[in-house]
Copies of this chain bind each other. A is one copy, B any other.
Amino acid sequence: MPEPGGRATASPLMGGSAEPTLRDLSSPGRQAWSFPPLDVPDGDIEIPELAPGPPALPEVAERDLVAHYTRLAHRNFAVDLGAYPLGSCTMKYNPKVCDWAAEHPAFRNLHPSQPAHTTQGALEVLMEAEEILCRLTGMARATFQPPAGAAGELTGLLIMCAYHRSRGRKPGTILIPDSAHGTNPASVTLAGYSVAQLPSDERGMVDLDALRTAVDDDVAGLMLTNPNTLGLFEEDIVEMARIVHEVDGLVYYDGANLNAILGVARPGDMGFDIVHSNLHKTFATPHGGGGPGAGPVAVVDRLVEFLPGPLPVRDGDRLRWEMPASTIGRVHGNHGNFLVVLRALAYMRALGGPGLRRVAERSVLNARYLESLVSEAYEIPYPAPCMHEFVASAAALKRQTGVRAMDVAKALLDRGIHAPTVYFPLVVEEALMVEPTETESLETVEAIAEALLAIAGEAAVDPEHVQRAPHNTPVSRPDDALAARQPVLTWDMERGGGR
């Protein structure tokens, strides 16, 4: 019965009914909690603004709580179950030893306001991670306060703003390629800048002439990811940076795609001034169903004074907190997602220099190999060699069979493999953005390709079946229109109702 090694599918267990909500499971008087009896004097609590009674929370026993969440977990796909080639998300395997690190009692029970002399180990974690990150990106110093990529972007933009203000300039325009991730323009607006969009050229890269035209004195900076969201390395990157620097603009690196170039190329060497990286992508910290992540921001020397603070600094053989001279101030209530940083540090130290470079090599190898297999049935709109991910198009498939990128994605779920990112980047019609990551084996990469080819084959024969996919999942396609038209956002809301 041997199947090809590395094939990654999850299997059903039994039953098929929906999981009731905790409110459905609730029964008045049931209880999971216990506390020791109060060992100080009791009595009425006399305060203003006393609550009239307990809040309307569900009442369940521990047994039902456990069964509920265990069953919910069984209704969720995850990296630990199989391949997750979701483009732009770098859903690589998250090593279990890093889970161990993140649960280490010497760290997880620290209070953020503890005096520094009692948290030397934690400060050392931040210092070690910062040093490695700076060496990988070619930057001078970094802050770990931003708790995600988007927060890193905002932080970077606030640093830009402070830099320009220090030179007497007002906020102006930030240039962004049309293939950019949505957080880039959203962060620009939030930071008080306006967005100017740069078109891609026929190579799938930023149009250098358009950039030249766009750059004027109002331009505060350029935001870019490289490799870009098409998985292509921007060939003119050095020249682009030069052009922006000429008007005293700053160049911001969205590090979502850092995985592709670890140890191979550095944003600093390309001319970037500010770099955020997503520890929850590049450095294998798990995504948690949508977070927590960590989006540290590293900068070149001349921007260090603007970093958020406090930052750890060495003082003999001790570490202490210090505010950078012209700091923009805090961007997180504490020290950022510290335990995520600890996980990432564990990962970085495990891999070391050679392992980190191997990440780049093998993520690119897997992507390039998968691309070559998949190109049998799907168009690859841009010919340049892909880096850690590639974007295929289902446009031809759609024309020929009516089967769309979304249908392909759903049909992949039926085959035990997570869907790629679809309809992003916006510059590709019927985009399928595929990122196998370096932690999938050759056999798994081939299994993904086979599945994608089989779906294309099926689309030709029985397009309706593909269009109605998925068929094996706990639910079929939800009615998103209903969800938005008559939102039910809590179990207390009646359909169409609300306060």
Number of interface residues of A (CB under 8 A): 59
Given the interface pairs A5-B25, A474-B12, the reply to whether A70 lies near B63 with Cβ below 8 Å is no
Whether A236 sits at the interface, judged by CB under 8 Å, is no
**Quick one: which of B8, B67, B441 contacts A80, CB cutoff 8 A?**
B67
Given the interface pairs A13-B473, A416-B15, the reply to whether A441 lies near B27 with Cβ below 8 Å is yes
Interface stretch of the complex, out of A71-79, A124-132, A460-468: A71-79
Given the interface pairs A62-B95, A66-B93, A75-B11, the reply to whether A3 lies near B17 with Cβ below 8 Å is yes
**Quick one: which of B5, B16, B26, B439 contacts A12, CB cutoff 8 A?**
B16
B-chain residues with CB within 8 Å of residue A450 when the two chains form the complex = none
Given the interface pairs A62-B95, A441-B61, the reply to whether A413 lies near B14 with Cβ below 8 Å is yes
**Binary CB contact string for chain A from 1 to 41 against chain B (1 if under 8 A, 0 otherwise):** 11111111111111111111101111100100000000000
The answer to whether A14 and B77 touch across the interface, beta carbons within 8 angstroms, is: yes
CB contacts under 8 Å to B, within A53-106, are 61-64, 66-67, 70-71, 74-78, 80-82, 93, 95-96
B-chain residues with CB within 8 Å of residue A473 when the two chains form the complex = 12-14
**Once the chains are docked, how many angstroms separate the CA of A15 from the CA of B443?**
17
B-chain residues with CB within 8 Å of residue A5 when the two chains form the complex = 20, 24-27, 64
The answer to whether A474 and B11 touch across the interface, beta carbons within 8 angstroms, is: yes
B-chain residues with CB within 8 Å of residue A16 when the two chains form the complex = 9, 11-12, 472
**Once the chains are docked, how many angstroms separate the CA of A62 from the CA of B30?**
42
B-chain residues with CB within 8 Å of residue A76 when the two chains form the complex = 13
Whether A281 sits at the interface, judged by CB under 8 Å, is no
Whether A430 sits at the interface, judged by CB under 8 Å, is no
Copies in the complex: 2
B-chain residues with CB within 8 Å of residue A30 when the two chains form the complex = 441
Interface of A (DSSP majority class): loop
Whether A389 sits at the interface, judged by CB under 8 Å, is no
Interface centre among A1, A14, A67, A96 (most CB of B within 10 A): A14
**Once the chains are docked, how many angstroms separate the CA of A261 from the CA of B77?**
43
Given the interface pairs A5-B25, A24-B2, A26-B5, the reply to whether A11 lies near B11 with Cβ below 8 Å is no
**Binary CB contact string for chain A from 336 to 349 against chain B (1 if under 8 A, 0 otherwise):** 00000000000000
B-chain residues with CB within 8 Å of residue A95 when the two chains form the complex = 62
**Once the chains are docked, how many angstroms separate the CA of A369 from the CA of B269?**
75
The answer to whether A13 and B14 touch across the interface, beta carbons within 8 angstroms, is: no
Whether A361 sits at the interface, judged by CB under 8 Å, is no
Q: Closest 10 A-B residue pairs measured CB to CB?
A: A12-B12, A15-B416, A9-B15, A63-B93, A2-B24, A3-B20, A70-B80, A5-B25, A14-B473, A63-B439
